[in-house]
Structures are given as C-alpha cells and as structure tokens.
Structure 1
C-alpha cells in the first residue's frame, strides 16, 4: 500500500495468487487499510458501475459531514481512476492524481472524505466496484466538471462521453465561489491520528 501525492489517498497493490486454474487475491483487507489510514473504513454501501470505452464519470464528492470515503477497484477492463483534492485549505487543493486500475494487476484506490473521484473507461464493458462509508444521499452529492481546464485532468479519451449531470457541473472555481466544497479542517482524514 502506498500513499498517493494527495494526502489521505492510497493505492493498494494486492498480492495475486495464480496458477493454471485461475487467480485468488484479497482485494480488501479491513485490518491493513485501518493500519495504513489510521482509522477504519465504515462499510455502508457497495456500488457497481459498467461503462463503455471513453466514458468519463465524475468528478463526484459528498458534503462533509458526513462525507463519503471510497475503496475502488476494477473487476473487468481498465480505467484511469482519478482522485482530486477538493478540500478548501488543503495544501493539495485543486491537484489530481491518476492511477490505472484493471483486471490484471487488481489494484485499488482508497480516498477519504472530501476528495473528488472520477474515472475514464479504457475498454468497453469496464466494471468498477466500490465500497462506500455512507449511503447515497442525493441532496448531499455534488460534482465538479471533469473537463475543467483549471483542473487540467489528462483524460485518455479523444471525445470523453459525459452524463448530463457531469456535463453541466460547475467548474472548480464556480463550486468554490458557491461554497459547495468541503473544508480541509472538517474532513476526518485530516484529524486521524497517525502512528
């Protein structure tokens, strides 16, 4: 497990056990994640998303509190998974980092409350599975436009396909001006004790 350049976000590299019969891996370990991030991930909801090649979903985030931490992996195909620091006051505010998730290396990404999440499907029928710390609350869910030039995310798609919600989402500057973004100090990851 390695911490990404954005504070609180981690890339998980599982150990793969394979032979002629197939493969086995522990794609989520409560104890190891808790040890790395300094607090347990409360599991409240599991989601599955299937996307065509070139689909971009995100950048999504939830109100803090309660926020929504996520543990994301790709079980079919491949994605560029993107974490964006949307925490106002964070030293990393407005920065993004991408991690390739696929059905070969079986990596995962953990992102705490206050970070934005998005991805671009690199193959057809790409299937992403993610565990969430809170259930979906429509009134508390938001988006920042994934093609915002201020974010400068390098999506690997010639013509990204966006949902209506994402294509009409505000830019980072507009979301900041409207007071939509979470405060760095209010996010649990910034308060977690580190050993």
Structure 2
C-alpha cells in the first residue's frame, strides 16, 4: 500500500497493492497500522456509506461543523468520479485551496479527506458506486456546504454546468466567502 500526502496537509492518496491471477484480484483497501505508521493519524471509522449515481451527478461540497466534523476515506467501487476536497481550516496555509483527483474502479485509489475539509465529486460514468467511510456519525443539524460553482474556489469540474445533475439543496449552498466572512 502506497500512501502519499497531497499539497493539502493531512489529505492523502492511498494506492493499494493489487494481487492478480486467473481468479481475479485481491487488495487491501485499508490497514490501520500502515496508515498510522505513514501518516501519524489514528482513525476509527464508525459509518460506511455507498451512493450510486448516473453520469453528470454532482454531490457536494459538503462538510459537518464542530464536534461532528468527519474525516472520510473515499473510493470508487464501480465507475469513475472527479473527487474534490477543499481545506476549510482557517489556520492552515492552504485554507481555501482545493485538491482534485480522478478516482475509478481500475486503479482502486482512495482519498483520505481529514476533518476540516469540504468534500464533493462529479460522476463521470453511469452506474458509478462511491464508498466513503467516516470517523464520525452523520448529524443533519451540523451539516453545511459550499456551492459547487463558487467563483473564489474556481474548481474545474471538467463538466459543463448545463449537463450537471445537482440537487436543489446543493444548488442553494453558500459561497466560500459568505461562509468564512473573507
């Protein structure tokens, strides 16, 4: 398993070693000892979620505030997404910066998104199944988000906005500057 930190401190790309033969393949998607030894981060995942989406679906940019903030370990089970996370930690030198990565079912890479980040993705293939493990339980009362087309963040989703499928909730999220008064 290879674990590489992105330019956003605490955000890691995990590439598992795949063992293939005539039967198929085997890979270890997470190993707490290796993850802790490499990153110094100790997580206990308490919730595991799946979503299935069509091409063009955009989910995010979501986060939870306060005591219910979540770290996530995300991966694509089938299909492909452009996955994006945004650093919301005011004391971070990368506050307001984002990282994006193509995640698919071929490479089997994962993204570790630490607490204090917004997270979202756009689906690039039909019938994409997306998995995310969380280290804290979902709490609707602490949920928040940033509008996906925020001009300040300037995220290139690689997809025409008129072809995106975005929920009403996500269309009405606030801008980064209005959330953080900057």
TM-score range relative to shorter protein: over 0.9
Aligned to 1:165: 169
Take 1:36 and 1:130, find their aligned partners in 2: how far apart are those partners? 21
Q: After TM superposition, where is structure 1 displaced by more than 3 Å over at least 4 residues in a row?
A: none
Aligned to 1:26: 28
Take 2:91 and 2:12, find their aligned partners in 1: how far apart are those partners? 20
Take 1:62 and 1:37, find their aligned partners in 2: how far apart are those partners? 23
Note the 1:139-150 alignment, pairs <5 A.
139-150=141-152
Contact 1:77 1:102 in 2 (8 A): yes
Report Cα offsets for 1:168-189 as digits up to 9, x if no partner: 00000111139xxxxxxxxxxx
Cα deviation for residue 66 of structure 1 reads 3.6
TM (norm. structure 2) is 0.94
The counterpart of 2:39, out of the listed 14, 37, 44, is 37
Note the 1:35-74 alignment, pairs <5 A.
35-74=37-76
Take 1:35 and 1:168, find their aligned partners in 2: how far apart are those partners? 41
Contact 2:19 2:25 in 1 (8 A): yes
**Long gaps (5+) in structure 2:** none
Take 2:91 and 2:171, find their aligned partners in 1: how far apart are those partners? 26
Cα-Cα RMSD: 1.3
TM (norm. structure 1) is 0.88
Report Cα offsets for 1:61-88 as digits up to 9, x if no partner: 1113341000001000011111111112
Higher strand proportion: 2
Farther off after superposition, 93-102 or 169-178: 169-178
Contact 2:46 2:135 in 1 (8 A): yes
